[in-house]
Amino acid sequence: MIKIIKLIFSKKINPVKIYRDNGAVGALLDEYEKTIQELSTLLDSVSAQQLIQIVDRETEDDDCRSIQTIMSHVVFAGYNYSIYIKNKYVETTQFKKKELKNSIEEYQLDLLAMFDYAERLFVENPDLPIEIGDEKRKIHVSWGQAYDIEQIMEHAIVHILRHRRQIERFLLKM
């Protein structure tokens, strides 16, 4: 299964990087794709046992106890960043629910699908307002922040980087 995922990524991400040429959106999507690919590559080194092993028993955050809970949170959040944008500027869509998966391959496929969902949002809606100064027109999220599209996508990128780092630290503890 991992070979299939790598094949999908290799077709999607050419060894000679071809950058998107649609300005800020292209840069955001290129970097988002890159962080997702880096996370997926890290997951190649995670065993089935490591996926479900509880590493942080002290945390009060249920999303940060194991690699499995982290990945469920990452996929859930990744879809929902795009859905926040869609709900504000395109059409009302139901938010994604968190799902625990039982294999690394399932999470890798979810990461690909999550990125494709975001990419399609921008391809199908090329005139989305990327930068907005007016607070009232920004996307107000459940954790209390207000973002324009550029800011929420930057947050989506850094969110993956932070959890990739967390998984790397978990692997060192195991």
What is the chain's pLDDT, residue by residue, as a tens digit (174 residues)?
Answer: 555 555 555 545 455 677 788 889 999 999 999 999 999 999 999 999 999 999 999 999 999 999 999 999 999 999 999 999 999 999 999 999 999 999 999 999 999 999 999 999 999 999 999 999 998 899 999 999 999 999 999 999 999 999 999 999 999 999
Confidence (pLDDT) at 5: 53
For the chain, list the domains and their CATH numbers: 2-173 (1.20.120.450)
CA atoms within 13 A on the CB side of 159: 21
**Is the CB of residue 73 less than 8 Å from the CB of residue 147?**
no
Confidence (pLDDT) at 11: 47
Confidence (pLDDT) at 6: 54
